Amino acid sequence: MTTQQILVVSATAAEAAYVPSGFDVLVTGMGKVDAAVAVAQALGRYPEGARPLVVNIGTAGALHDHHAGLFVPSTVLNHDISAEVLASLGYPVRDRISIDGGDGTVLATGDMFVTDPVVRADLAARADLVDMEGFAIAAACDRMGAACRIVKHVSDSADDSALDWPTVVDASARVLGTWLTDNC
Per-residue confidence (pLDDT) for residue 49, from 0 to 100 = 86
Residues in Cβ contact with 88 at an 8 Å cutoff, skipping those fewer than 6 apart: none
Instruction: Tell me how far apart the alpha carbons of residues 53 and 180 are, in angstroms, rounded to a whole number.
Output: 13
Q: What is the pTM of this model?
A: 0.94
137 contacts 56 by C-beta, under 8 angstroms: yes
Per-residue confidence (pLDDT) for residue 179, from 0 to 100 = 98
Per-residue confidence (pLDDT) for residue 115, from 0 to 100 = 84
Q: Please give the average pLDDT of every successive group of 10 residues along the chain, which has 184 residues.
A: 83 98 97 98 93 97 95 96 89 94 97 88 96 98 96 90 86 98 96
5 contacts 24 by C-beta, under 8 angstroms: no
Per-residue confidence (pLDDT) for residue 24, from 0 to 100 = 96
Per-residue confidence (pLDDT) for residue 160, from 0 to 100 = 83
Which domains are seen in the chain, by residue range? 3-173 (3.40.50.1580)
